[in-house]
A and B are shown apart, each in its own frame.
Chain A
Amino acid sequence: MSSAATTVAQSAQRSAPGPATRAEAENLADTGSAAALPADYSDYKLVPARHPWRWVGTVVVALGIAAVAWSLATNPRWEWGVVAQWFTAQSVVTGLVETLKLTAISGALGFILGFILALMRLSASPLLVSVSWTFSWIFRSTPLLVQVLLWYNLGYLYEKVSLGIPFTDVRFFEAQTTTLISQFAAAVLGLTLNQAAYSAEIIRGGILSVDQGQLEAAAALGIPAWRRSTRIILPQAMRAILPTAFNEIIGLVKGTSIVYVLAYSELFYTVQVIYNRTQQVLPLLLVATLWYVVITSVLSVLQYYIERHFSKGAVRNLPLTPLQKVRRFLSTHAATNVRSPR
């Protein structure tokens, strides 16, 4: 011990002579003797690291949220009374139903068509591949607004729509385009085709994300092609498809508001009609917004559980549901509080 101290003292003398040297030497001697003792920590309690900045951040954000909530509640210009009055009004609810109808129909048709387009794009036939590619190219590169207006005005371009044998006079069916394409039909056509172009790419991406070995294994077992797609590939592709697909559907819920240009009385057009009459613009926009928030929230919850369903086997243990998380949070924190007094 003394020899170590002296060497340190000697080397330290060259740089900083005086009291510092002695302190350093003592310090070294201290740690030296402590290390010599046999250490047994088996009775010690483990204390997790503290994160003070996490708490600071939490407080700042909480204050921000409180401020926004306070201003929403106390600023009379939000006119919450008017919002409440119109929120469940008959006309608004009717508009809401129309919005849900448009979303459901064009969402479902869009994804079915998108699935077919994705399969075409992945097929070995160059014609199918290029048709699918061109479809996506056209409908992704034109504004939805233009598409919807174009479908509605199809009667201007083609007066009659008929079904028959080409290059002959045989007609099975013939109708005026304007009677055939109502506001609803134009809206569904526009939204569906646009949605199909986007969902085709989403579904194709999902299918590509599944390992080629899965197809090989299924083929080696003699599993028929359709079953291979639906039972083996799609359930695995769903994990990649779902998050983006729900993005699309949530986008579609609000995207339906674009058909107000056809004077189609869905939610957004309905509140416009009302505020043009009552001049309560902001509260009525708020009514529509709140309904969109409600729909999106329901869809988000649905998304969580559907994703959880398809993550079976992809993760070792399924992620906890929010309810299970709350329970676990409570039980672990209760446990630490009980243990800490000791």
Chain B
Amino acid sequence: MSTTVVTTEAPTTAAPAAAATRGQVEITNVRKSFGGTEVLKGVSLTVPSGGVAVIVGPSGSGKSTLLRTINHLEKVDGGYITIDGQLVGYQVRGNKLHELREKDILKQRTDIGMVFQNFNLFPHLTALENVAEAPVVALRSDNSQRRNKGEARQRALELLDRVGLKDRADAYPRQLSGGQQQRVAIARALALDPKILLFDEPTSALDPELVNEVLDVIRELATSGTTLIIVTHEMGFARDVADTVVFMDQGQIVEQGNPLEIFANPQEPRTRSFFSKVIEPAFNI
């Protein structure tokens, strides 16, 4: 009887907290250079389905670049990334990895939402139009139907409501505060029901008093079953929300682990010296 339930449920649009394999990210030995500088020196990381990984580290350590390789905004020079076992940006042909055509890369990206440091909202579109744009025009990775305009707007309104901005649906980004803009950007990233959400320093461009309204939204997402990978400098937030804290320095993962352990008892000297600089003395764990 339980099998019949599964078969009827499966074809409907997957709820955020669906099957166990939804949104597992596996990064294997990824390397990347800009000019002569190697910014990623063979990074491997696994984030389980529904997991919350927070990447911390000094600027220039390759955190953002690593994040951007996950949705192929940045091409890797070596190594590979899979999502639920599926290669990102490449396909195997013979014994070579061939880069996918742009159309197919775009399809893959609909499973991976991204939130940028400086929001990158489309300034000529209202909050609602920003959120409702992609579901209408983007081809989905599972070749499912694109939403029609009415559905997309309805869903966009629900998402804006979820981030607490339903009443600002018709505002243009420039009429919103930084925190509100970033919350719209999060709603926009959610509009395609992604398996994975990438956050690239989502609060770094915000005034201190606006940081929390954004972090609260991300906190709420952390319990929703979507896989989150977050680059941030907010250590308190990392401690609260992360399953795994990953410390990167000079293009490598130096240390990773449970937030309570890694903050209280870092094993590597570099980790220890970094935390001693960024965590204020009053911050007790």
Binding site for B on A (CB under 8 A): 211, 213-214, 216-225, 227, 231-232, 235-236, 310, 312-316
Contacts and interface: CB of A to CB of B under 8 A. Distances in A.
Contacts of A225: 102
Contacts of A213: 116, 118, 120
Contacts of A219: 73, 106, 109
A214 B116 CA distance: 11
B174 A220 contact: no
Contacts of B116: 213, 216-217
Contacts of A224: 103, 106, 137-139
Interface of B: 71, 73, 102-103, 106-110, 112-114, 116, 118, 120-126, 133-134, 137-139, 172-175, 188-189, 192
B73 A223 contact: no
A214 B192 CA distance: 18
- Counting from the closest, the 6 A-B pairs by CB-CB distance are A217-B120, A313-B172, A222-B138, A221-B134, A222-B110, A213-B120
A220 B123 contact: no
A211 B123 CA distance: 11
A81 to B, nearest CB: 52
A192 to B, nearest CB: 30
A185 B112 CA distance: 53
Contacts of A218: 122
A220 B174 CA distance: 21
Contacts of A314: 123-124, 174
A289 B118 CA distance: 51
Contact of A235 (B106, B124, B173, B174): B124
Nearest to B126: A313
B133 A223 contact: yes
Most chain A CB atoms below 10 A, which of B108, B120, B126, B175: B120
Most chain B CB atoms below 10 A, which of A213, A221, A227, A315: A221
22 contacts: A214-B122, A216-B116, A219-B73, A220-B71, A220-B73, A220-B114, A221-B110, A221-B134, A221-B188, A222-B107, A222-B134, A223-B137, A224-B103, A224-B106, A224-B138, A224-B139, A310-B124, A312-B172, A313-B123, A313-B126, A313-B174, A316-B175
A48 B254 CA distance: 64
B122 A227 contact: no
Given A214-B122, A221-B109, A223-B106, 8 more contacts: A214-B120, A221-B110, A222-B134, A222-B192, A223-B138, A231-B133, A313-B123, A314-B174
Contacts of A310: 124
B122 A232 contact: yes
Contacts of B192: 221-222
A227 B109 contact: no
A219 B106 CA distance: 7
Contacts of B173: 313
Most chain A CB atoms below 10 A, which of B71, B116, B123: B123
Nearest to A311: B124
A222 B134 CA distance: 7
A217 B174 contact: no
Contacts of A223: 106, 133-134, 137-138
A314 B125 CA distance: 10
Contacts of A216: 73, 116, 120
B33 to A, nearest CB: 19
A217 to B, nearest CB: 4
A221 B73 CA distance: 11
A239 to B, nearest CB: 9
A163 B102 CA distance: 36
A221 B174 contact: no
A221 B124 contact: no
A232 B192 CA distance: 18
B123 A221 contact: no
Contact of B174 (A227, A236, A315): A315
A218 B110 CA distance: 11
A236 B192 CA distance: 24
Contacts of A221: 109-110, 133-134, 138, 188-189, 192
A290 B114 CA distance: 57
B114 A227 contact: no
A319 to B, nearest CB: 14
A310 B103 CA distance: 29
A315 B174 CA distance: 7
Most chain B CB atoms below 10 A, which of A213, A217, A236: A217
A165 B276 CA distance: 75
Contacts of B118: 213
Contacts of B112: 220
A131 B112 CA distance: 38
A314 B124 CA distance: 6
A69 B59 CA distance: 67
Contacts of A211: 120
Contacts of B139: 222, 224
A130 B132 CA distance: 39
Most chain B CB atoms below 10 A, which of A220, A231, A312, A314: A220
Nearest to A310: B124
A250 B125 CA distance: 30
A222 B194 CA distance: 11
B138 to A, nearest CB: 4
Nearest to B109: A222
Nearest to A233: B122
B151 to A, nearest CB: 17
A194 B148 CA distance: 43
Nearest to B173: A313
A316 B174 contact: yes
B109 A313 contact: no
